[in-house]
Amino acid sequence: MSIMSYNGSAIVAMKGKDCVAIAADRRFGIQAQTVSMDFQKIFEMAPQLFLGLPGLGTDVQTVSNRLKFRLNLYTLRENRQIKPKTFMSMVSNLLYERRFGPYFVEPIIAGLDPTTSEPFVCSLDLIGCPMEPEDFVVAGTSSEQLYGMCESLWQPNMEPDELFECISQSLLNAVDRDALAGWGAVVHIIEKDKVTTRTLKARMD
Amino acid sequence: MAAGMMYQSGPSRFQSTANMGGDDWLTAEHMTGTSIMAVEFADGVVIGADSRTTTGAYIANRVTDKLTPIHDRIFCCRSGSAAATQAVADVVAYHLNFHSIEMGEPPLVQTAANLFKEICYNNRDDLTAGIICAGWDEREGGQVYTIPLGGMLVRQPFSIGGSGSTYIYGYVDAAFKKGMTKEECLKFTAHSLALAMNRDGSSGGVVRLAAITKDSVERHVILGNELPRFYEG
């Protein structure tokens, strides 16, 4: 069995008009067995910068902790909030340091630039290769299903409410075809002046 | 290593290269991971199953019907390999139909169960099939027979099977009572399967139920949002 599918997860992030959204399932399992349905996979790194970590559960927690440590030091030294693109490079660096014994996570970053409020999404592979597309990013055991859903539902310049519907439907229907992801979902909509967090009523199977 | 692989014929060569990068769904067998259950009551049996068929981690069918008719008042609940259990059920149904025409009367549940056992035991090395055979006949009324992986046969007042059953042994032992009515059996089965589907990644979808009595076979479906809900933490 693949290490990346040992615990199971599904994460997706999308760009909208002056906003971004990031969503994840809530399952923590050990192969086929579901152990808990409230496992955190999206972490708030800064007021308008969120990090989603799919993959091996232990590395999800370790990477988020170690990254927060580095980010805290950055913020103290620079005396300002980090830009999303810079944070992407920070994540890439942390992962590549472990090039030949990697962390089994494939991070997704979603946020707004602290000064210009420009939307930003990106994803990285487990050894830190960054990819910054114009539309959406997906990761986890349901990534193939998510690609299908997002490709069909996403349009450019969606308002926050539209974006919420789009990302929710993409996630919910993708995980319904994955035995290792689901059991609840959490969605964050990040706008210039506020972040709305919603838990979705999902199939618990 | 690579040279050795080139000389293998057909499917296995495809398997060895296609499995790189963990693309299980290209090569994995269809499995009904499953939670199945059957309960006897005075006038018949209640049988139930989830509706998920997986190829690796991909859910190939989320509305599967795992309750297969073998004869008018005899059904089986299938778990394990989808191909194996479908093939075995087809063979048993054929033989039972023939036997029933020869005898001129409806077949016994015990006969159907024994046919399952013969096939599952004699081909035990080549099959992954866990089957619960349940139904009603004139002689013994409602009966439940379980035929797990090695091909043994045993009658039980109620039986659970499939990968999801491991999570509900405690629950069914605590909740089962002798002398339940049909409605109580339906509720017991629905609750048990809902709990199993909640914990087992290989089980899910809808709960399919059937109540088999002398007079009829009543089929029910409980959709995802109508399922009983328990602790979700």
Structure confidence by residue, pLDDT tens digits, B108-163: 999 999 999 999 999 999 999 999 999 999 999 999 999 999 999 999 999 999 99
CA angle B189, B195, B196 (to 5 degrees): 90
Instruction: Classify residue B214 by its DSSP letter.
Output: S
> Quick one: average pLDDT of B40-68?
95
Instruction: Classify residue B2 by its DSSP letter.
Output: H
Whether B169 contacts chain A with CB within 8 A: no
Instruction: Classify residue B19 by its DSSP letter.
Output: T
Nearest CA in chain B to A9: B57
Q: Is A4 close to B229, i.e. CB distance below 8 A?
A: no
**In a 3-state reduction of DSSP, which class is residue B56?**
coil
Residue B40 confidence (pLDDT) above 90: yes
d(CA A98, CA A93): 9
How far does Cα B227 stand from its chain's mean position?
19
Q: What string of DSSP letters covers A24-54? A: EE--EEETTEEEES----EEEEETTEEEE--
Question: Can you read off the two tokens belonging to residue B106?
Answer: 């409806």
Indicate which residue of B34, B64, B85, B146 is catalytic.
B34
To which residue do tokens 């709990």 refer? B195
pLDDT, tens digit (0-9, with 9 covering 90-100), for B165-199: 999 999 999 999 999 999 999 999 999 999 999 99
- Give the burial class of B204: count Cβ atoms within 10 A of its Cβ; 0-12 exposed, 13-18 middle, 19 or more buried: buried
Q: What is the pTM of this model?
A: 0.81
> Quick one: average pLDDT of B204-209?
96
Whether B57 contacts chain A with CB within 8 A: yes
Residues A155 and A165 sit within 8 Å (Cβ to Cβ): no
Tell me the average pLDDT of chain B.
89
Instruction: Provide the pLDDT confidence category of residue B12 given band limits of 50, 70 and 90.
Output: very low
Phi and psi (nearest 5°) for B85? -70, -35
For residue B109, the model assigns a pLDDT of 97
For residue B28, the model assigns a pLDDT of 75
Whether A40 contacts chain B with CB within 8 A: no
For residue B24, the model assigns a pLDDT of 65
For residue B233, the model assigns a pLDDT of 76
Instruction: Provide the pLDDT confidence category of residue B10 given band limits of 50, 70 and 90.
Output: very low
Residue pLDDT tens, chain A, 205 long = 799 999 999 999 999 999 999 999 999 999 999 999 999 999 999 999 999 999 999 999 999 999 999 999 999 999 999 999 999 999 999 999 999 999 999 999 999 999 999 999 999 999 999 999 999 999 999 999 999 999 999 999 999 999 999 999 999 999 999 999 999 999 999 999 999 999 999 988 8
Is B32 assigned a catalytic role? no
CB burial of A181-202 (b: ≥16 within 10 Å; e: otherwise) equals bbbbbbbbbbbeeeeeeeebeb
Nearest CA in chain A to B206: A205
Residue B17 confidence (pLDDT) above 80: no
**In a 3-state reduction of DSSP, which class is residue A130?**
strand
Instruction: Provide the pLDDT confidence category of residue B29 given band limits of 50, 70 and 90.
Output: confident
CA angle A107, A112, A115 (to 5 degrees): 135
